[in-house]
Amino acid sequence: MIYILFSGIFALAPPTGVKAYDTPNDRGDAITVEWLLSPDDNMIEGYEIYRSEKGKEYELVGFIGAGRTTYEDQTETGTEYTYKVAALYDSERSYSEPSPVARSEPQWFDKESVNLLIGVIVFCLIILYFIDQARRGKRLQIRKISGLDAVDEAVGRATEMGRPILYSMGIGLVDYIATIASFNILGEIAKKTGQYETPLIVPTSNPVVYTVAREIVKESYSTIGRPDLFDTDKVYFVTDSQFAYAAAVDGVMLREKPAANFFIGYFKAESLIMAETGASTGAIQIAGTDQITQLPFFVTACDFTLIGEELYAASAYISKEPLLLGAIKGEDLGKIVILSVLVVASLVGLLTKFPVLNIFR
Q: Which of residues 232-251 bind another protein (CB under 8 A)?
A: 232-233, 235-239, 241-244, 246-247, 251
Q: How far is it, in rounded angstroms, from Cα 75 to Cα 92? A: 27
301 scored as a contact of another protein (CB under 8 A): yes
Least distance in Å: CB of 16 to another protein?
31
Using rule CB under 8 A, residue 220 touches another protein: yes
Taking CB under 8 A as the criterion, the residue among 76, 90, 110, 149 binding another protein is 110
Please report, to the nearest 10 degrees, the dihedral formed by the alpha carbons of residues 223, 225, 205, 159 taken in order.
Answer: -120
304/26 Cα distance (integer angstroms): 45
**Nearer to another protein (CB atom), residue 48 or residue 270:** 270
Q: Is 319 in the site for another protein (CB under 8 A)?
A: yes
Of 51-90, binders to another protein (CB under 8 A) are 77
CB of 153 to another protein, least distance (A): 20
Residues in contact with another protein, total (CB under 8 A)? 98
Positions 326 through 355 that interact with another protein (CB under 8 A): 327-328, 330-331, 334-335, 338-339
Report, in Å, the least distance between residue 121 CB and another protein: 11
Q: How far apart are CA 204 and CA 266, in angstroms?
A: 12
CA 87, CA 234: separation in Å to the nearest integer?
Answer: 69
158/190 with CB nearer another protein: 190
Say whether residue 308 binds another protein (CB under 8 A): yes
Q: 31 phi and psi, to 5 degrees?
A: -125, 135
CA distance 181 to 290: 10
Cβ distance to another protein smaller for residue 237 or 304: 237
Site for another protein in 131-150 (CB under 8 A): 131
182-201 residues in contact with another protein (CB under 8 A) are 183-188, 190-191
Q: How far is the CB of 323 from another protein (least distance, A)?
A: 5
One of 20, 88, 151, 311 touching another protein (CB under 8 A): 311
Decide: helix, strand or coil at residue 296: helix
- Please say which residue, 99 or 291, places its beta carbon nearer to another protein: 291
104 contacts 60 by C-beta, under 8 angstroms: no
Query: Could you tell me which stretch among 32-40, 55-63, 202-210, 345-353 binds another protein (CB under 8 A)?
Result: 202-210
- Least distance from C-beta 244 to another protein, angstroms? 7
> Which residue type occupies 20?
A
Three-point CA angle 299, 305, 310, nearest 5°: 135
Beta bridge partners of 95: 86
The amino acid present at 17, given as its one-letter code, is: G
CB closer to another protein, 52 vs 220: 220
CB of 304 to another protein, least distance (A): 15
Q: Using CB under 8 A, pick the residue from 100, 207, 225, 349 that binds another protein.
A: 207
315 vs 313: CA distance, rounded Å: 6
CA distances from 248 to 110, 141, 241, 310 (A): 46, 41, 10, 27
CB 274 within 8 A of CB 244: no
Residue 203: which H helix or E strand, with range? strand 200-204
**CA–CA distance, 43 with 82 (Å, rounded to integer):** 27
Q: Binder to another protein among 33, 61, 216, 283 (CB under 8 A)?
A: 216
| Count of residues in the chain | 361
Q: Which stretch binds another protein (CB under 8 A): 6-14, 84-92, 118-126, 146-154?
A: 118-126
